[in-house]
Amino acid sequence: MNSIEAVVDDIRNDLEFFDDELQKYDYIIDLGKKLEALDKDKKNDKNLVDGCTSKVWLDISLEDEKLVLRGTSDAIIVKGLVYIIIQIFSGRSLAELKDFNMDILSRLNLSEIITPSRQSGVAGMINKIMEFSKNGNI
Q: Which domain holds residue 17?
A: 4-132
CATH of the domain at 77: 3.90.1010.10
Percent of the chain past pLDDT 70, that is, above it, reads 96
Question: Would you state the torsion angle of the CA atoms of residues 11, 96, 36, 14, taken in this order, to the nearest 10 degrees?
Answer: 0
What pLDDT was estimated at residue 88?
94
Which pTM does this prediction carry?
0.92
Spatial distance between the Cα atoms of 111 and 54, rounded to a whole number of angstroms: 17
On whether residue 116 sits in a domain, the answer given is yes
- Flag whether 110 is in a domain: yes
pLDDT at 3 over 90: no
52 is catalytic: yes
Has residue 62 been placed in a domain? yes
Residue pLDDT, tens place only, 42-72:
999 999 998 878 999 999 999 999 999 999 9
Classify residue 86: in a domain, yes or no. yes
Mean pLDDT for the chain overall:
90
- CB–CB of 49/69 below 8 Å? no
- At 90 the pLDDT is 96
Identify whether 35 is part of a domain. yes
More confident residue, 12 or 116: 12
User: Is 38 within the bounds of a domain?
Assistant: yes
Q: pLDDT at residue 138 above 60?
A: no
Amino acid identity at 74:
D
Could you tell me if residue 45 is inside a domain?
yes
Whether 137 maps to a domain, the answer reads no
- Which of 28, 49, 52, 81 is the catalytic position? 52
Provide the number of structural domains found in the chain. Answer: 1
